[in-house]
Structure 1
Amino acid sequence: MPWIPALKSTARSGFALERAVTEPQAALRGALGVALVLFPSLALGTPALATSAALGAFIAGTATFQRSFRPRPVLALGAAAGLSASTFVGYLASPWPVLFVLVVALWAFAAGLAWALGPTAGIVASTTVSVMLVVVSLTENVGQAARHAGVIALGGIVQAVLVAVWPVRRWGAQRDALADAYASMADYARRLRQDPFAAFDPEALVTARNAAALTPHQARRRPAELSGMRQPMERMRPAMAALADPRVGAAEEGPQRDRAREILAAAAEILDAVARSIRTGRRVTVPDRVYRSMAVPAHGPVLSGPARQSALRLMGLLADTVDSLETADDDGETAGGGRVPGHLPRPSVPELLPIAAHAVRHQWTWSSPVLRHAVRLSAVCALSYTVGSQLPLGHGYWAPLTAAMVMRPDFSQTYARGVARIAGTVLGVALASALLFLTGTSVWLCASLAVICIGCNYLVIRTGYAAVSLFVTGYVVFLLAMDGAKLVDTAAERIAMTLLGGALALIAYAVFPTWQTTRLPDRLAEYVRAGGRYAATAVDAFGRSSPAGRLAVREALLDLRAARAELVTASRQAAHEPVRHQGLRPSQLRGARVSMAALGRTAMLLEAHLPASGTEPAPGAAAFAALLRQETGRAAEAIRLDRPVDFSAVRAGHDAWAAQAADDPAAALVLLDAGFLVEALETLQEALAG
């Protein structure tokens, strides 16, 4: 879209507020952590020392609210360690202006690269730049700098201890992720009743899998009801799809369709009950009428063939899931005495170092959004600090502080946060200054107002960035006002520096952008390649029936989900960018995604009927799988190079296979589904040619 509509769209999203508040207890705990270091530091030390302690506690507390599945105390301690290091290193370089600007630039560059490890690491790393700029202005010698670094670390330790001794919804993030996944399965079952070809969004399953990755410490303490619950859910998905699909499941109309709808409705109720049980930690309660509706009718089975097989598999998985919740005890064991399944390993903090190095090396290319963000952040922080320090306004650090807080690797977030930050900061400075003008600048009053402000910030931290900016700005103003600065002058100076930093951040992205629009062909190519690999692996499992084949199908499915997630994210970001689509029109992208969804759904039908180990191989399946993998790989390369896509070889290969194995019952089902795969690929070809 053009620049003006793009800017209007991002500005509206920046001001958007959601009706979502944090747990009041969590907000109170975070504010208490700030108070526990702010007031003693103020009583025993100086206002400057108390400011550093409060900033450390504030950032460490903010880290515990991030969307991460790591233990919250670890997040607080990690943030405090980074803050302490940044402030001490910054002070050592502060006597020499040129050296300090260089240190700011290098630290900002490293903070930008931290996005390679994920949003949580990137956000926390950005705050270390901001706190470095503030605290350096409060210290006068190395001893003071060390004390300030120490109290900052103390703030993180206090927040970590509070989280450990006052847990709010212990394992709440993991519970919510798994419960959301089961709720999404319940919604899918309901939609299949009305639309047997309903699309399935695996985002909730991806989040649940990320939540299931645990450190050894977490694994020893995981609640029993969170153990081994994902695998049955994953196996329900293809069973439900196969039951609902009239091509391989229940007939499109008649008693079979009515029976399939009845089973899917009961499955939805059970899945909702499971989701509630996981979310709350209470026992699962399913009405008896639901179980009765799933029992075989008195006049005998209605479903037959693959449809009956899918229904029985679904019923068995539902029963196993409910039984596992009802029999699990607090020791992580089932009533039968068996141990629960293992867990996905999450690296510990020391083990993250080689992983971080590998992630940074992977992003070390000029086309990487992370590397370009690091360069932008470094240049803007250095430039805004230099310009701000030369202006006769004072508080020059406020400009790079604003830039560091708003800049993100993508256009939409940077501009949305930039506008929201500017508006929130201006309003926050004005309101905080007016309040201090009316009440006075008593040190203890300022400290009390700061604690109230940060408590409100924690409460609305998920509401929107404009609200967060308002309270964070008030918090910082109250802290810095403890030294009795002139209110009118400091308010005007901070507003001016905020406008400068925000403007430089927005200009930097326009001058040196990273457009997701231009990367869409690459994302779609990877999606097509991953989809072809998943479909080919599922077909190949019929030609080489073995446990390894099932594992390969699972791995291919995870790769497909990752490729789809990257394409969806890029598409959302590209929708707000002021860039013309190059080589891939929006209509082509929409059609390609619909076709790939059909391909994935058909491969899911194959997954639902994978042969047992030792079953007679379907003749021709392995050869067709190799052809499918080869041709989808070629298509992916053609998409990347903006060339026509041609799947005629796949159609010819399927026709030859059908003629060769037409009378072989072992190949009947896989041949039928393979035909649907070919149709989906031909639809993809038409969509890209349109």
Structure 2
Amino acid sequence: MSWRNALKETARSGLKVERRRLEPLIAIRATAGLALVVGLSLYFFDPAVAASSAFGAFQAAIATFQRSWRPRPVLALASGVSLGISTFLGYLTGANLILFLALLALWTFLAGLSWSVGPTVGIIASSNVAMMLVTITLPTTIAQAAGHAAMIAVGGLVQAALIVAFPVRRWGAQRDALADALAGEADYARRLRHDPVAAFDPAPLMNARSAAAVTPRQARTRPAELHGARGLAERIRPVLASLADPAVGVPEEGVERDRVRELLAAAGQILDAAARAIRHGEAVKLPPAAIATFKTPDTGAILSGPAHRAATRLGKLLHDVVETADPKSTAPEAPPPDGTRPPQPEPAPEPAPTPPDQSDTRPIPLIRPTLPALAPVAARAMRKELTHKSAILRHAIRVTAVAVTGYLIGHALNVHLGFGHGYWAPMASVMVMRPDFSQTYGRAVARFGGTLIGVALATGVVQLAHPGAYFSGVLAVAAAGLTYLFMRTGYVTVQVMVSAYVVFLLGMGGIEWSQTVRERVLLTLIGGLLAMLSYAVYPAWETPRLRTRLADWLVADGRYAAAVVRHYAEPAGKVCPDVREALLEARNARIAWQDAAARAQNEPVRHRGLSRAAADDAEHALAQIARVAMLMEAHLPDRGTTPVPAAAQLATVLRESTEQAAKAVRERRVPTWEPVRAALAEWDGEGVPDRVVRRGTRLLLESLDELSEALGTTPPPMTVDGNGPRTPKESAAR
């Protein structure tokens, strides 16, 4: 994409206003906290102290709107306390330009590195740096600085206390995450009726897994319906796929396929009902027709073999999901046993079912570290990013250089042209800069546009009303309330409200609005331009790293497939921790690839050996590898089943071959799969009776070949197995 198109797309995304579900009760609570802090500060102290406490309360409330699974009071308190500490240290060094620049550089660099811990920590840390630049100008003595820092912390404490005293939809984020995962599987079940090999996005399941991690204190108060359902949802997905896929299930047309479609439709209805119940904390209302579909004895008479096993297991899992979501509901029973249908001949006898492993339905506890315990974890994550190849480190260096440069420019304008408020340039830079190109440029455009509108609106109000300190405080609280209300609608909308809020708040402290308008607009423009220029000069493009991301995904898929195949040589039942761990790694690698591909889409950089079409085809092939491994996982042999010795060799070959192939992908070579073919031939020589296993291994090889074909179509000419460049004839043949 050219620079012109990239700038146009990022500007469009930055100015986009989205229609999102508003949360008025949460906005009212946050606004009430801010109003309480401002009112008490004005009554007992002076407008400058009120402004400091307002910044603390405002920023603490903003922190609670971030996408984090931590308790909201913890986020508010952490934001208020950290901003208070930053303000006090900033004031101590503010009188000496060199010392303050050193502190600013250190604080900004650490804020940039903090993105390695997560976006919530990165946003709070960056906001602290930006707010520190403003709040250090309010006190005049060390004692006042300590008082201002304390009041900022009090602002965060008040917001935290209000969240505890007036909870709004407790565990709502966790409920939504789990409900979204179940609703996603319901939609998947319906799509499988028409497309038996439909794709499935694992992001909702991974999101639900993140939401399920709780601190020890949260674990004691978590609602019962949030226990266990996520693990059941994880096990339902492969069963749905194996029931629908004609390669391991029933033919694409006929009576059996019709029965499968009925079961999938009923499963979708039951999962949707469970999702609604969990989302709203109410009883499960199951459709009678869906229950009847799973209770009818026709299923046992129509389906046989792997399809009947999958249908039986699906019924049991749905029963457990409904029972978990609402223990008082009447959950659907599993399809009747084989005795209700005539016996069907099989190529080989099915292994006798073993008693279910109790750990199969036991939720795995996911413990989230407390804030004190998070400190060493954060330190390790930040230390890991201290390498020249790290995009986080490059972001930290960029934002540090821009913040220091912006502050020096503002200081020079103040000295030579009488500009006050020089902090607005570095503040704008720090607030808009993100580790990736699209967000940085989009937010820079949105911040400048929002600033123009917000300052213009606030200026008009000030000119008409001429508010005093108390009325300015009221206007500031109103602007903050609108900020909270429209927090999810887009950065440009929020920036309009924030700009008006800052104008009113500083006006409450006695600063003239005319200065605010002229300086804020100009310095915000300077800060935004510095942020955009820094990324152009010292970028961290995602496009050149796409091949590495693809290779990482290939390795993860290979390990997952190898872990599944190995258990055919070493039967261990349905519960296999190594398979589960490999699956999570594969999902993380897939999500990392998708995020990288999305970021690279709008970058003004050439593909450098991986065109968009080739990337899409390779993504499809890797998704198929994981899907096939999942199908085989759904039919893992029970304990005591006769092992298949060749499976161990195939598992080893799969793991080694995908690792070698990943190296080839990074080196822009086309991988080949001859060792896998040889291992499959040995597998076939042993006469594996289970058609799921036979067909699954063949599908794995087909997906690997599809990946090589996708990479082989990427210009410039690549090499085949590292032996030399492909000829035009070879390229055309592919």
Q: TM-score, normalised by structure 1?
A: 0.97
Contact 2:503 2:513 in 1 (8 A): no
Contact 2:404 2:426 in 1 (8 A): yes
Shift of 1:215: 0.2
The aligned residue for residue 333 of structure 1 is none
| 1:464/1:190 CA distance change after superposition, 3 Å | same
| 1:651/1:341 CA distance change after superposition, 3 Å | closer
The aligned residue for residue 127 of structure 1 is 127
Shift of 1:467: 0.4
| 1:25/1:633 CA distance change after superposition, 3 Å | same
Contact 1:236 1:314 in 2 (8 A): yes
Shift of 1:298: 5.1
Structure 2 residue 558 is the aligned partner of structure 1 residue 527: no
The aligned residue for residue 27 of structure 1 is 27
The aligned residue for residue 513 of structure 2 is 487
**Distance between the aligned counterparts of 1:544 and 1:656, measured in 2?**
17
Shift of 1:438: 0.7
Deviations 1:518-540 (A, max 9, x none): 11111000000001111111111
For residue 99 of structure 1, give the secondary structure of its aligned residue in structure 2.
helix
Q: What is the aligned counterpart of 2:397 among 372, 375, 382?
A: 375
The aligned residue for residue 235 of structure 2 is 235
The amino acid of 2:200's aligned partner reads F
Deviations 1:92-141 (A, max 9, x none): 10110121112111111111111011000000001111111101111111
The amino acid of 2:444's aligned partner reads G
Deviations 1:365-394 (A, max 9, x none): 111111111111111011001101111222
Structure 2 residue 197 is the aligned partner of structure 1 residue 172: no
The 5-angstrom pairing of residues 119-158 of structure 1 reads 119-158=119-158
For residue 301 of structure 2, give the secondary structure of its aligned residue in structure 1.
coil
Contact 2:646 2:682 in 1 (8 A): no
The aligned residue for residue 686 of structure 2 is 661
**Distance between the aligned counterparts of 2:315 and 2:626, measured in 1?**
23
For residue 676 of structure 2, give the secondary structure of its aligned residue in structure 1.
helix
- Which region of structure 1 is more displaced relative to structure 2, 102-111 or 338-347? 338-347
Contact 1:520 1:567 in 2 (8 A): yes
The aligned residue for residue 206 of structure 1 is 206
Contact 2:28 2:481 in 1 (8 A): yes
| 1:37/1:328 CA distance change after superposition, 3 Å | farther
Structure 2 residue 577 is the aligned partner of structure 1 residue 551: yes
Contact 1:225 1:328 in 2 (8 A): no
Deviations 1:431-453 (A, max 9, x none): 11111111003111100000000
- Backbone CA RMSD of aligned residues: 1.5
Structure 2 residue 503 is the aligned partner of structure 1 residue 473: no
User: Among the aligned pairs, what percent are the same residue?
Assistant: 50
Structure 2 residue 89 is the aligned partner of structure 1 residue 89: yes
Contact 2:574 2:637 in 1 (8 A): no
**Distance between the aligned counterparts of 2:31 and 2:227, measured in 1?**
33
The aligned residue for residue 699 of structure 2 is 676
Q: What is the aligned counterpart of 2:379 among 343, 357, 377?
A: 357
The aligned residue for residue 411 of structure 1 is 437
Contact 1:22 1:458 in 2 (8 A): no
The 5-angstrom pairing of residues 326-365 of structure 1 reads 326-327=326-327, 341=363, 343-365=365-387
The 5-angstrom pairing of residues 608-627 of structure 1 reads 608-627=634-653
**Distance between the aligned counterparts of 2:707 and 2:362, measured in 1?**
43
**Distance between the aligned counterparts of 1:487 and 1:135, measured in 2?**
18
Contact 2:190 2:265 in 1 (8 A): yes
**Distance between the aligned counterparts of 1:294 and 1:125, measured in 2?**
52
Shift of 1:328: 7.0
Shift of 1:285: 0.7
Shift of 1:585: 1.6
Contact 2:543 2:603 in 1 (8 A): yes
The 5-angstrom pairing of residues 114-513 of structure 1 reads 114-297=114-297, 301-327=301-327, 341=363, 343-391=365-413, 392=417, 393-513=419-539
**Distance between the aligned counterparts of 2:22 and 2:69, measured in 1?**
16
**Distance between the aligned counterparts of 2:300 and 2:244, measured in 1?**
20
What stretches of structure 2 of length at least 5 have no aligned partner? Answer: 330-358, 714-734
| 1:300/1:540 CA distance change after superposition, 3 Å | closer
- Which region of structure 1 is more displaced relative to structure 2, 339-348 or 205-214? 339-348
Shift of 1:619: 2.7
Contact 1:227 1:340 in 2 (8 A): no
Deviations 1:637-689 (A, max 9, x none): 1111112211122122212321x212x42x65323211110010011111110
The amino acid of 1:573's aligned partner reads R
**Distance between the aligned counterparts of 1:316 and 1:547, measured in 2?**
17
**Distance between the aligned counterparts of 1:305 and 1:21, measured in 2?**
46
**Distance between the aligned counterparts of 1:473 and 1:547, measured in 2?**
60
For residue 327 of structure 1, give the secondary structure of its aligned residue in structure 2.
coil
**Distance between the aligned counterparts of 2:328 and 2:297, measured in 1?**
31
Shift of 1:251: 1.4
Deviations 1:346-371 (A, max 9, x none): 01111111111110121111111111
| 1:688/1:52 CA distance change after superposition, 3 Å | same
Q: TM-score, normalised by structure 2?
A: 0.91
**Distance between the aligned counterparts of 2:323 and 2:611, measured in 1?**
50
Shift of 1:322: 1.1
Shift of 1:324: 2.4
| 1:548/1:252 CA distance change after superposition, 3 Å | closer
Contact 1:591 1:687 in 2 (8 A): yes
Deviations 1:50-75 (A, max 9, x none): 00000000000011111111000000
Contact 2:243 2:307 in 1 (8 A): yes
**Distance between the aligned counterparts of 1:144 and 1:548, measured in 2?**
64
| 1:342/1:643 CA distance change after superposition, 3 Å | closer
Deviations 1:282-341 (A, max 9, x none): 010102221112233459611110011001100110011112233279xxxxxxxx9974
| 1:324/1:549 CA distance change after superposition, 3 Å | closer
For residue 350 of structure 1, give the secondary structure of its aligned residue in structure 2.
helix
**Distance between the aligned counterparts of 1:687 and 1:342, measured in 2?**
38
Deviations 1:421-479 (A, max 9, x none): 01101211111111111100311110000000000000000000000001011111101
The amino acid of 1:670's aligned partner reads V
Deviations 1:582-641 (A, max 9, x none): 122212111110101111111111011011122211230111110011100100111111
**Distance between the aligned counterparts of 1:672 and 1:261, measured in 2?**
22
The amino acid of 1:543's aligned partner reads A
**Distance between the aligned counterparts of 1:328 and 1:132, measured in 2?**
53
- Which region of structure 1 is more displaced relative to structure 2, 252-261 or 542-551? 542-551
| 1:548/1:198 CA distance change after superposition, 3 Å | closer
Contact 2:60 2:156 in 1 (8 A): yes
Contact 1:112 1:126 in 2 (8 A): yes
Contact 2:654 2:676 in 1 (8 A): yes
Q: What is the aligned counterpart of 2:677 among 640, 648, 651?
A: 651
